């Protein structure tokens, strides 16, 4: 199968996984690396970019919601950590809500996008590192 098709499928899975739609980009990345380990760096780049863009789209959607107060605990958490809280956007299920909440709170866009991307890159790098241990 063509590298472009494999990477395109990974991109679709990674983007959808970052939204409320179902998807499992970790399995897609793992399967791709088992089949084609030479695609490590392109796969990491594609998975990170597509998954980050999916979460950034959630950030944007959160900005479309009329502002209302978040529950006090969630608001205090974002006040304490600010955009850096979005590093945890990689966490399954709970992480999907963080960009929505950050958008709803109108946190600064670019710092949010940066922290989202760093979190996603961290997760995929750790997964790829683990896969490299299995492949060898």
Give tens-digit pLDDT for 103-129.
989 999 999 999 999 999 999 999 999
Predicted TM-score (pTM) of the model is 0.90
What is the per-residue pLDDT across 2-57, written as a single tens digit (0 to 9) for each?
A: 999 999 999 999 999 988 777 789 999 999 999 999 999 999 999 999 999 999 99
Q: Is 22 exposed, middle or buried (0-12, 13-18, 19+ CB in 10 A)?
A: exposed
pLDDT of 88: 95
Task: Please report the pLDDT score of residue 135 as a whole number.
Answer: 66
How many angstroms separate the CA atoms of 91 and 86, rounded? 10
d(CA 135, CA 33): 8
| CA-to-CA dists, residue 134 to 10, 33, 72, 101, 129, angstroms | 20, 10, 44, 37, 9
- What is the spatial distance between Cα 106 and Cα 64, in angstroms, rounded to a whole number? 10
67: three-class secondary structure by DSSP? coil
- Residue 1 is predicted with a pLDDT of 75
Q: How many CB atoms lie within 10 A of CB 82?
A: 16
Note the pLDDT tens digit of each residue in 53-97: 999 999 999 999 898 787 888 788 888 999 999 999 998 878 888
């Amino acid at each position: 199968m063509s590298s472009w098709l494999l990477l395109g499928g990974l991109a679709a899975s990674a983007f959808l996984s970052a939204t409320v739609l179902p998807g499992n980009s970790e399995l897609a990345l793992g399967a791709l690396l088992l089949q084609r380990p030479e695609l490590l760096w392109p796969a990491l780049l594609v998975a990170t970019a597509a998954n980050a863009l999916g979460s950034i789209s959630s950030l944007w959607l959160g900005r479309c919601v009329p502002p209302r107060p978040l529950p006090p605990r969630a608001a205090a958490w974002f006040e304490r950590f600010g955009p850096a809280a979005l590093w945890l956007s990689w966490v399954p299920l709970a992480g999907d809500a963080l960009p929505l909440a950050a958008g709803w709170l109108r946190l600064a866009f670019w710092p949010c996008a940066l922290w989202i991307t760093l979190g996603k890159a961290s997760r995929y790098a750790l997964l790829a590192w683990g896969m490299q241990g299995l492949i060898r």
